[in-house]
Structure formats: structure tokens, C-alpha cells
Structure 1
Amino acid sequence: MGALSNLRVIDLTQVLAGPYCTMLLADMGADVVKIERPGGDLIRSNPPFVEDPEEEAYGGYFQSVNRGKKSVELDFNDEEDREDFLSLVEEADVLVENYRSGTMEKYDLGYETLKEHNPRLIYSSIRGFGDPRTGETHRQGQPSFDLIAQALGGVMEITGQEDGPPTKVGPGIGDLFTATLNCIGILAAVNYREQTGKGQYVDTGMYDAMISMTERAIYQQSYTGEAPTRQGNSHPTLFPYDAFETADGYAVIAAFGTNHWKEVCAAMGREDLPEEYPTAADRLEHRDDLREVIADWAIERTSEELCDELEGRVPVAPVQNTEDIFDDPHVHAREMLYEVEQPGADAEVEIAGSPIKMSETNPEPRGRAPLLDEHRDEILGETADADAEAADD
């Protein structure tokens, strides 16, 4: 039993932001029914594959964010399929979609229509620029992806080396952070419904989410009147808080507190530095010279040696790649790698586990991603049975 095992979620999403949101709900026990357009989610065919894309039902991209869901293929241009969809909506708790604004309305399946069929429905949308219902702008209706959201939201401007170009953050945070916020909004709406019996509309825009994520840059602009820009791995107001090259890679040191600063200096054999630069302001003012001192010390050690010297006294860590992550006992103890079946390949694959841990209803991936239309008979059969029972009553 999961914390959300009493909820049925209709998932009309595809690619990344929407599926990640409904994946979080599925991991927490919700019964997520993924309604796929004819041919299925666009991302089913994306690599990587274990062996042969001709044999495997989907690649790693789809597997990772659609685990534990059920699939039904419906065509909203077909009247019978629309009726099947409405019958599902009548029994659902939550609906999530990430189409362009106005898409559902083209099929007369927008929020206003669906809430007539189910007033308790929580209807949630994830769009690049939000929905007109919650604040109309000229951007709505424009397509958006992670790269667009990171560019507009200021993330790229503050990411990268000082002398380099604006840089996208590696993971698709424009999708993932927006999806996480949307999930929070859905759960808040569920709680409100428990108190009032009323459903509502939940809307999260990717551009909005990136502004929220760049919170530091927003207040810096307001307080200083200057636009923050790139400064590599360093921090605008803290030092040392940076990545340092070692003999075999890189390690990060976060020692901006005076106690941690003293420990770093002791490890370097430079007990004179805490006396010469006793305050955070002193260290920030002379960061270039001090960074050179730490860099000269770090390059003489491997990442492991550097961390061994500081670990337990100073926040420090090696910069890991995924091979390192897979080898880390901490990751396995925290169940952050989860094995699932890969249809079409004689192999199990590993995907990221759930970072949410709970003592009574611990979230976890609930099996592999679905085959296209795999659960049609199960899901629509349930609806037909419910309709027959209602007719008998």
C-alpha cells in the first residue's frame, strides 16, 4: 500500500515534464492510467536501448519516467474513444496533461467540460508558459522545451565559466523542477478536496518554475540593481565554495564557515591564513588569491586523498560520474538504483529510485513501464463493469 493508493490519476502527458510528475504519484502508490495518442508517447522510440531497438518496446528514456503506470491508447478524434475517456474521468481523482494551451478544448475535453462530469476532479496542466486561466500572457500557445525554459528563466545566464557562453544545466531541470512543483500542487489540491469536497485547476508553467529556481539571481538583481552572470563553480557570496582540480579529477570544498575555513587551513599547513582572513567578508574580498592557494594544495592530491584529509571536518566530496554512483554503497543502501524488466531484451535494467523516503508508506517504482495499450481490457473493462452495476441499481 502506498500513501496515494486511494487515488486514480489519468495521465495525458508525454516526453518528460508530465510523465515525471505522474511518475512521482505512481511511486507513492497512485493508480496512474497513461492515456496515449495513436502510436503512443513520442518518446517511446528514444534511445538508449539494451540491444536492439527493433525488438525492444521502448528505450531507457520512456522506461525511466513511466515505470509503474498502465497504458490505454485512445484517439480523441474518435467518438467512442472520447466516450471511453469521459467514463474514466468520471471515476478519476486527478488528471494531468501537458499539451499546448487550448488543445483539450479542441476536443471539448477542457477543464470546464470535465468538471461537469466530475466536480471533484483535480485537473492539472504543465505548460511552457502556464494557462490563461491562471494568468494570460502573449506567450501562451507557444511550444516550449527544457532548453527554452532554462534560457528564458535566467538559468543559462548564471551557468558556465566566466569567460564561456551561457550554458544549459545538464539534467532537464526545466521539465523536472516544474513537474515536481506540479506534483506538490496536486497534493495540496487533494488535501483541499478532503476538506471541502471540491476539485480545482492546478497549473504550473516551466518559465515560472525556472524563475522560482533561480531565486538567488532574482534577489541579487533587486538588491544590487545588477544582473548576475556566470562565475563557474564558485558562489557569489560564499568562499571557499568551489570545485578544485586534483591529481586525478575534481573535488568540491564548501568551507565558507569560519570553523570549516580553519580546518582547511590546518590541513594545508597554513595556520596563518585564519588570522590574516578571519571573517567571511575578508575571504570573499581576497577570493582569487586564496583560491590559488587551495588549488595548489589540491592538485598535489588525488580526489580520494583530499577527501580523506578533510572528510568529517569539512563538507567535501569528489565530483563523481555515473560509474562512481553505481559503485557507491550509499546509493545502494538508500535504494536509489531500481531494477526493472526491459521488454524485448533478455535483461534487467536499472533506473533511478525514489528520493522520497517514508517510514510507513515508502515510495518505490512499481514495476516496468507499460507496453502501448497493455491495460485496455483491464481499465475499460472496469469502467464497463461499473456502468453495468449503476444500470442495475
Structure 2
Amino acid sequence: MTAPATGPLRGIKVLDLTSMLAGPFTTMLLADLGADVVKVEPLTGDRTRGVGPFREEDDPAQALGGYFQSVNRGKRSIVLDLKSSEGAERFRDLVRVADVVVENFSSGVMERMGLGYEALAEVNPRIVYGALRGFGDARSGESIYDSWPAFDVVAQAMGGFAGITGLVDGAPLKAGPGIGDIFPGTLLALGVVAAVRHAEHTGEGQFLDIAMYDAVLALCERIVYQHSYLGENPKPMGNGHPLLAPFDIMPTQDGWIAVAAPSDKHWRILTKTMGCPELADDPQFADNTARVVNVVAVRKILGEWLAERPTADVVAALGGRVPIGPVNTAADIFADEHVRTRKMLVEVEQPGSTTPVTIAGSPLKFSSTPASVRGRGPKLGEQKPDAVLAEWTATHQDRSVSATKGDESHD
């Protein structure tokens, strides 16, 4: 069960038609921020329910897999067959008292069921309708790729990310996390919040469209200005940076560490710590521009010093003085005091087990309206559509009365 909402979106009612990662990440953020998010699932449920991973002791008939649990925490679930006239009508009833609808179907799916934005806006003109697709929606500009299916790796490839990621002179490389899903999902959540604010002030809902391709391109903004200013087609640079030095991830005696000292102040601290303070005034290395030109020499000097020292010693020598950080494993993260203090690892119930599971916490921190992981993911159809409708209708009526009184007070 979900804990009471404390976040700034408490009272906002969201109908979540999404599946897989990108859309559920959007609605996960909204739920963490206090929105009442109800997943509207088909009889078979979100496709990730069976993906796993599961623990050996988990009861497969009840347990929630890690993929589903992580991005569907704090939500509720109802089952509706939207392809049936009865299911579609019950969905419209919910839309009448909802604030937001979010979906990540292929273009045209909702329209074929008679549930596209225009149809739902007739039912509720205040509705904010968020859509996330690989190449966007024709309402915002019809893409030549409109009919193409897309996954995270496709967005990373076409949006420019894979083309600048990887070893120098090496093959393109995708990111470890699914940024082609997660970043578009984050932008959609931001857009939903902005559109809800607009609806609250004007009574006007709207259609919100995020393309995975567009989002990754925005994430890779550097390649756009490099091409515009210099005519370059940026390529993979390993762990380095084309405009900053030193700025790298390099091996230590027993691991790897990130070191970023492009400012002259940090470069001076770094060279003094390495025992070669004269490099701070050497014309080849005296400022960032010179260090970028001589980056091979910078890497050699820094690399030799790091290779002779354990990671812990480097952290002890430079931590808090120069921007550095060890390359953490998951086990390192679980052991890090920062993560515990910031509540970034959260235990939630695992159905069918007395032992909880751990998922990532919310990075959004508020002083007055704290965001939180309010509980585990929902079992399929754990709530009933009629019960949710009755609950939402009551709160909708209460809000309407409050809004009317507020208008009267300004007369």
C-alpha cells in the first residue's frame, strides 16, 4: 500500500497508460512528488511485470520483479480493456475527474480506440495529456520516422549520444543506463508539471509531446554548437572532454577514479599534491587552453601518478580539494554514507515475502513538501476502477467547491 502523499503534487490525479521504462519513469517521478498515479493496465498487465529479476526466495505468483518495482513504486493499478466499449467508457469516466493522462503507445493507438487527446478534451477540457513516443506526435510536426518503433538504444544512436561515446577511434557505445528512455521520461514529467500549473491558472488543458530522439539530441547539445561553430562532427573521446583538461576517468593502482581539474585553481592544487608544482606555471599547462592542446602530456603525467597509488589514497589526498570521485560499483554505493544520509536507497515491501527489497530513492529534495517513495509497486488490478472513480469524484467535487469559493472571494 502507498503512504500518504507529502510532495508538492499531492491532490493531482494521474491516469497512467504507460509500460516498459520511459513512460513509467515519468509517472514514477509524479508519484514520488505526491501525485495519485493509477496505472491502467490490460488484462495481461505491463509487459515488465514478468521481466524480473526475482530473488530465489520470491514467490513468483506474488512477487514484483526489480524492473517493474523500481519505476512503478507508489502507484496503484486497475485493469481495463480499453478496446471494449465498456472499458473505454469507464476510462472516460475517470478522465472526467482526472488531471493528467500519460501514454507511450505508438502513434494512432489511442485515436483508434476513440480515446485520443481531442476526444478526452471534450470530456475534460482541463486534462493534461502527455505522450511519449520514439519520434514524437504529428500534432507537433510529422516525422518521417513516425511509424518507426523505438527503444532506448535507437534513441541513443539517432540522437547523437552513441556517436560521441566510446574509446578514442573506437566503435560507438551506448550508455550503461537507459538514458534514451529515462531522460525523455524526465522531460515529460517536467512538461506535465508545467502544463498542470497552466491548467490550474487558466482552466485550459493541453497536449504535451516528447520524442525520445528529440530528448537525446537536447541532451547532446554540445555536438550541435561544435558543428555550428567549427563544422566538426564530434567523435568518441574516451573519458576525456574536447574543451576541458584534465577531465577524465583514469586507472589507479587498484581501481578507477574521475579527476576534473580544468580550472587553474584546481590544477595548481593537483600539481602541488603530485609533487610537481612547477607545472602550474609551465606555459604548456598554465591554463585550460594550453592543457587541452597538450592533453596527451597531461594524461601521461596524471596517469603515471595515479597508477602508483590506491584509489583510497588518492581520495584522501584530493577529496574536497579537487573535483574527484572513485568509480563506484553497486556494492560501493550501498556502503556509501552519502547514499544513506540522502535516503537514496529505499526498502519497499515485496509481496509474498517478509524480506523487503531495495530500490533507488528520489533525488528530488524539498524542505516543505518532501518527495518520497511511498511504497511498493502495485499488484495487477489491486484496485477496482469503480472504487478509484468514487474516490476521485469525491475529491473532484471538493476541489470544485473550494475553487468556487475562491472565485467568490475575489468578487
TM-score by length of 2: 0.92
- 2:42 is matched with 37
CA distance in 2, matches of 1:300, 1:141: 54
Cα shift readout 1:156-215 (whole Å, capped 9, x = no counterpart) = 010011132100001111111001111111111111112211001111110000110000
Kept after mapping to 1: 8 A contact 2:10/2:36? yes
In the alignment, does 2:170 pair up with 1:164?
yes
Q: 1:89 aligned to 2:98?
A: no
Match of 2:387?
Answer: 378
Tell me if the contact between 1:102 and 1:141 (Cα under 8 Å) persists in the aligned partners: no
Match of 1:54 in 2: 60
* 5+ long unaligned stretches in structure 2: 1-5, 397-411
Q: Which residue of 1 aligns with 2:213?
A: 207
Q: Of the candidates 223, 228, 234, which is equivalent to residue 217 of structure 1?
A: 223
- How far apart, in 2, do the equivalents of 1:383 and 1:124 lie? 20
Structure 1 residue 380 displacement after superposition: 4.3
The answer as to whether partners of 2:95 and 2:124 remain within 8 angstroms in 1 is: yes
Counterparts of 1:79 and 1:383, CA distance in 2: 22
User: Which residue, out of 249, 272, 275, partners 2:278?
Assistant: 272
Change (3 A) 1:42 1:270: same
Q: Tell me if the contact between 1:122 and 1:186 (Cα under 8 Å) persists in the aligned partners.
A: yes
Runs of 4+ more than 6 Å apart: 383-387
Higher mean alpha-carbon deviation, 49-58 vs 278-287, is at: 49-58
Distance 1:378 1:320 in 2: 45
| Offset from partner CA, 1:48-102 (integer Å, 9 cap, x none) | 1122463343200000000011100111122211111110001000000000010
Identity of aligned residues (%): 48
Structure 1 SS opposite 2:77: strand
Letter in 2 for 1:50: R
User: Whole-Å Cα distance in 1 between the matches of residues 61 and 206 of structure 2?
Assistant: 42
Work out whether residues 94 and 124 of structure 1, in 8 Å CA contact, stay in contact via their aligned partners in 2: yes
Match of 1:4 among 9, 27, 37: 9
Distance 1:384 1:247 in 2: 63
Counterpart in the other structure of 2:296: 288
TM-align CA RMSD: 1.7
Could you give the per-residue CA deviations for residues 265-301 of structure 1, whole angstroms, max 9, x where no partner exists?
1111112211212121111111101211111110110
Question: Which of 254, 257, 268 in structure 1 is aligned with 2:260?
Answer: 254
C-alpha distance in 2 between matches for 1:252 and 1:141: 41
Question: Offset of 1:311 from its aligned partner?
Answer: 1.5
User: Following the alignment from structure 2 to structure 1, what is the Cα–Cα distance between the partners of residues 291 and 233?
Assistant: 23
Task: Kindly indicate whether the alpha-carbon contact (under 8 Å) linking 1:46 and 1:58 is maintained by their aligned counterparts in 2.
Answer: no
1:224-254 CA-to-partner distances (Å, cap 9, x unmatched) read 1010000100000100000111111001111
TM-score for both structures, normalised by structure 1: 0.96
Partner SS, residue 105 of structure 1: helix
Shift of 1:386: 9.4
Alignment of 1:1-393 (within 5 A): 1-51=6-56, 52=58, 54-276=60-282, 277-376=285-384, 378-382=387-391
CA contact (8 A) 2:103 2:130 kept: yes
Distance 2:353 2:11 in 1: 34
Distance 2:277 2:392 in 1: 74
* Kept after mapping to 1: 8 A contact 2:98/2:392: no
Displacement after TM superposition at 1:373 (Å): 0.3
Q: Distance in 1 between matches of 2:158 and 2:179?
A: 13
Q: Distance in 2 between matches of 1:110 and 1:207?
A: 22
Aligned positions, number: 389
- Separation in 2, partners of 1:85, 1:352: 31
Are residues 274 and 106 of structure 1, via their aligned partners in 2, closer, same or farther at CA, if it must alter by over 3 Å? same
Query: Quick one: structure 1 residues 111 and 245, their matched pair in 2 at CA, closer, same or farther if it must change by over 3 Å?
Result: same
Q: Which residue of 1 aligns with 2:406?
A: none
Q: Tell me how far apart the structure 2 counterparts of residues 236 and 100 of structure 1 sit (CA, whole Å).
A: 38
SS at 1:228's partner residue? coil
Question: Could you tell me how far apart the structure 1 residues matched to 2:230 and 2:309 are?
Answer: 39
Name stretches of at least 5 consecutive residues in structure 1 with no aligned partner: 388-393
